[in-house]
Structure 1
Amino acid sequence: MTSADGTELALRRSGSGPPMVLVHGTLDGMNTFSMVELALAERYEVTTYDRRGRGESSDGSDYSLEREVEDLEAVLGTYDRPAHVVAHSFGAVVAMKTALKGQKMASLVLYEPPMNGDGIAEDGAAAVDQAVEDARFDDAIRLLARDLAGVSDDEIGIAMKVPPVRKMLRDGARQAPREIRALQQTSWDDLPIAGVPTLILRGERSDAAAYPRPDQHSSIAADAEVTALAGQTHLAHSMDPNAFLHAVLDFTGRH
């Protein structure tokens, strides 16, 4: 499908039922949800897509968070009714900004949006930039995942051993510098989200400074529900899919 600026977006649709759209993070592609997609498709018509510049999607001539919002709006526009939106990491930032533009959604699930751009250490961001510039993509993955996203070395190691996942991570690493810059430049003066039932998911063991602090939860959406995923950090949809599914399906089933 084609976004507003002509960027071609690759998407996959499965299942039947009310619409649901999955939005992936920086080091990911549509396949990041492979451990939960089929289970969600037992209740919903699920669409997942490669965000611009990765996987089978093309890229635009310029980049901004607004272009990402236009992409999600285009995907949601393929449905004739509001969809549930389940979004992870940078994808959750995209989903938040889309909701703040007034896009109708049946519900919104936000898993650790890195909304605190000032919590991204400048030396860490610079190290990721340099690794990508030097084509040291595996180093960029480790720097971003461990130092900025708070993912453990064990979790990174497990992911890197799977060739298709490693390729997906490398695709994402190439786009990491521009997404980090977008986060650092993003203002949240337009919060809170209104009129969309919102669930904020967090890993019980997550402590990255970029993720929402407990005192920020009500500022994201006044009536937001918050669920901590026991024993998890930033990758529960892969590391503990049952817990992730339980939280998502319980919430979306009520909306």
Structure 2
Amino acid sequence: MTDHITSKDGSTIAVDSLGSGPVVVLVGGAFNDRSTVAGVAMELAPRFTVVTYDRRGRGESTDAVREAGGGFDVAAEIDDLAAVIEHVGGHAHLFGHSSGAILVLEGAMRGLPADSVAVYESPYRADPDLPHPPSDLLDRLTAMADEGDRDGAASAFFTEAIGLPPEIVSGMKHGPTWAFFLDKAPTLPYDVALSRPWEFVDRDRLAALRVPVLAVYGDKTAPGLMAGAKAVADSVPGARLVVLPGEDHGVLQHPEALAPTLVEFFG
């Protein structure tokens, strides 16, 4: 069942609901929409009411600020998440993958009514010995989005934010998923504005959280993502850390590997 709700600034947000029981909202990261978390939703639906949505500017969701010539403000995405939670009853468990993990944590830190928060590989910068993107990445991605340069934005994100070699990205452009990436490319500044990967994670803000938090990473993932997950677990009082054997950042493609951990945590 798909509903179209209105966020604070007038943007329309497409929301799907599945199953019955306590409410769990799933939030994807860069290059994701509600279709990419649908597998996890199917795994959780026997126990929960699972809610997925297209983040603004993706899929069936609009972005009133961008349409009016505005920028990429994290607060707008927090408002969207707040509208989704209100739509499904006023409180919910939250799960976020990648930049979606930072989005749900940010929402909880800003007082959204979260019963608990589970995050998979939140891409905070936490290890000073690892390389990081330059501080002008957000400005350059914003300029590419303004100019309609989808290919440039996607390429810059993959090479600079994720750290893939240029030859790998070049090969991806001939693959079947590149068109999907290009479709989401204009929203990449939101993901970078959330993660701000040139700055170290603010552990003091995380330490102020007073909701149950679960941090998860796969043991085959990149060192920086491991460090980001560990930073959440180390910073939030009482947080749990779980390592999934054999998994990496692409865990959404293996929902059966992730779901049991979420079911146990959301209980």
- TM normalised by structure 1 equals 0.81
Give the Cα separation in 1 of the matches to 2:115 and 2:232: 23
Pairing of 1:12-161 with structure 2 (within 5 A): 12-61=16-65, 62=70, 63-116=72-125, 120-122=132-134, 125=137, 129=141, 137=150, 140-141=153-154, 144-145=157-158, 148-149=161-162, 160-161=175-176
Shift of 1:104: 2.2
Kindly indicate whether residue 200 of structure 2 is the aligned counterpart of residue 191 of structure 1. no
Distance 1:213 1:24 in 2: 16
Tell me the amino acid that sits aligned with residue 214 of structure 2.
L
Q: Secondary structure at the match of 1:37?
A: helix
Flag the 1:146–1:203 CA change in 2: closer, same or farther, 3 A: farther
Q: Is the 8 A contact 1:199 1:226 kept in 2?
A: yes
Coordinate RMSD, CA, aligned: 3.3
Q: Secondary structure at the match of 1:80?
A: coil
Q: CA deviation at 1:52?
A: 0.5
For residue 177 of structure 1, report the CA deviation from its aligned partner: 3.2
CA contact (8 A) 2:102 2:194 kept: no
Question: Is residue 228 of structure 1 aligned with residue 240 of structure 2?
Answer: no
Preserved contact between residue 154 and residue 185 of structure 2 (Cα < 8 Å): yes
* Corresponding residue number in structure 1 for 2:228: 212
After alignment, is 121-130 or 100-109 more displaced?
121-130
**Residue 174 in structure 1 maps to residue 183 in structure 2:** no
Query: Which residue of 1 is the match for residue 256 of structure 2?
Result: 242
- Secondary structure of the corresponding residue to residue 25 of structure 1: coil
Please list the CA deviations of residues 174-203 of structure 1 after superposition, one character each: whole Å capped at 9, or x if unmatched. 211343244328873532253311110112
Q: How many residues align?
A: 247
Q: CA deviation at 1:120?
A: 3.5
What SS class does the counterpart of residue 35 from structure 1 fall into? helix
* Distance across 1 between alignment mates of 2:37 and 2:214: 18
* 1:199-221 CA-partner distances (Å, limit 9, x unpaired): 101121222536516355321x1
Unpaired stretches in structure 2, ≥5 consecutive residues: none
- The amino acid that maps onto 1:113 is S
Contact 1:120–1:209 (CA under 8 A) maintained in structure 2: no
